[in-house]
C-alpha cells in the first residue's frame, strides 16, 4: 500500500474509532440512567437503546450481550470509586489514616442519598457477572485491593498495626467485609437516616481498625 493510501485508511479508521467510542460511552451512560431511574438492575436492552437513541445494530456492534454491557458499567463505576478513594487516601499523612480513609470512602457510598442512588447499580449485578466473567470482575476490583494492601504494608512498617499480619490477605478480608456491609445498607428500604448510617460506619471502621491491631 502506498504512503498516501495508508494515510487515507488511517484517517478513515480514526473517524470510525471516535464514532464507535461515542456509541459505547452513550450505551454505558444510558444503561446507568435507566437503572437509576427505574431501580431495575437488570434493564431491558430496548430501554437502554431508547435512552441512548441507538439501534440494535449499534448495540451488538460493541457488546455480545447485555451482561457484557453491565460489566462495562461495573468497570466504569469501579474506576471512578478507585480514583475517589485514592484522592481521599492521599490527603492523609500516615498509613493508618489512609486505611481509615479507604474504609470511610467506601462507606460513604451508602451514607449520602445521592451517592447511594449512584452506587446501587454497581453493587448488585456483580455476583451474577462474576459467574459469567470470572476473570474480568476480579481484575476490575483489583485496584481497591492494591490501594488498601499498600497502606496496610506501610502501616505495619510504621508500627501502626500488628507486624505479623498478611497485608494481601487482610486487604481481601477487609474489602469483602466493607463491600458486604455497604450492600446491606443499600438494600434497606426505606433508606435509614444519614446519622444512623454514619453511626454504623463508625462501628465498621472501629471493628476493622481493631482487627488489624491498631
Per-residue pLDDT tens over the stretch 5-63 = 566 656 666 677 888 899 999 999 999 899 888 877 889 999 999 999 999 999 999 99
Query: What local confidence, expressed as pLDDT, does residue 12 receive?
Result: 63
Residues of the chain where predicted confidence (pLDDT) is lower than 50: none
Query: What local confidence, expressed as pLDDT, does residue 11 receive?
Result: 67
Query: What local confidence, expressed as pLDDT, does residue 35 receive?
Result: 87
Angle at 64 between CA 61 and CA 26, to 5 degrees: 55
* 27 cis-preceded (ω within 30 degrees of 0): no
What is the reported pTM?
0.86
Query: What local confidence, expressed as pLDDT, does residue 204 receive?
Result: 97
Angle at 89 between CA 135 and CA 150, to 5 degrees: 55
For 1-63, CATH number out of 1.10.10, 1.10.150, 2.60.40, 1.10.760 equals: 1.10.10
Query: What local confidence, expressed as pLDDT, does residue 40 receive?
Result: 78
Architecture of domain 67-214: Orthogonal Bundle (1.10)
Domain ranges of the chain: 1-63, 67-214
Query: What local confidence, expressed as pLDDT, does residue 55 receive?
Result: 95
Query: What local confidence, expressed as pLDDT, does residue 125 receive?
Result: 64
Query: What local confidence, expressed as pLDDT, does residue 59 receive?
Result: 96
Query: What local confidence, expressed as pLDDT, does residue 174 receive?
Result: 97
Amino acid at each position: 500500500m502506498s504512503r498516501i493510501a495508508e494515510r487515507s485508511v488511517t484517517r478513515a479508521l480514526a473517524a470510525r474509532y471516535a464514532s464507535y467510542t461515542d456509541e459505547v460511552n452513550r450505551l454505558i451512560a444510558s444503561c446507568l440512567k435507566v437503572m437509576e431511574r427505574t431501580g431495575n438492575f437488570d434493564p431491558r436492552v430496548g430501554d437502554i437503546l431508547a435512552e441512548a437513541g441507538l439501534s440494535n445494530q449499534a448495540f451488538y456492534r460493541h457488546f455480545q450481550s447485555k451482561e457484557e454491557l453491565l460489566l462495562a458499567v461495573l468497570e466504569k463505576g469501579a474506576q471512578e470509586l478507585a480514583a475517589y478513594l485514592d484522592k481521599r487516601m492521599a490527603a492523609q499523612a500516615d498509613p493508618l489514616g489512609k486505611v481509615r480513609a479507604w474504609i470511610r470512602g467506601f462507606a460513604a457510598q451508602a451514607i449520602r442519598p445521592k451517592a447511594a442512588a449512584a452506587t446501587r447499580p454497581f453493587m448488585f449485578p456483580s455476583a451474577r457477572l462474576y459467574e459469567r466473567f470470572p476473570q474480568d470482575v476480579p481484575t476490575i476490583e483489583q485496584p481497591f485491593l492494591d490501594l488498601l494492601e499498600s497502606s496496610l504494608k506501610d502501616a505495619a512498617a510504621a508500627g501502626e498495626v500488628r507486624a505479623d499480619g498478611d497485608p494481601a490477605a487482610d486487604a481481601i478480608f477487609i474489602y469483602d467485609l466493607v463491600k458486604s456491609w455497604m450492600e446491606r445498607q443499600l438494600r434497606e428500604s426505606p433508606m435509614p437516616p444519614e446519622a444512623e448510617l454514619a453511626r454504623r460506619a463508625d462501628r465498621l471502621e472501629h471493628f476493622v481498625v481493631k482487627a488489624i491491631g491498631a
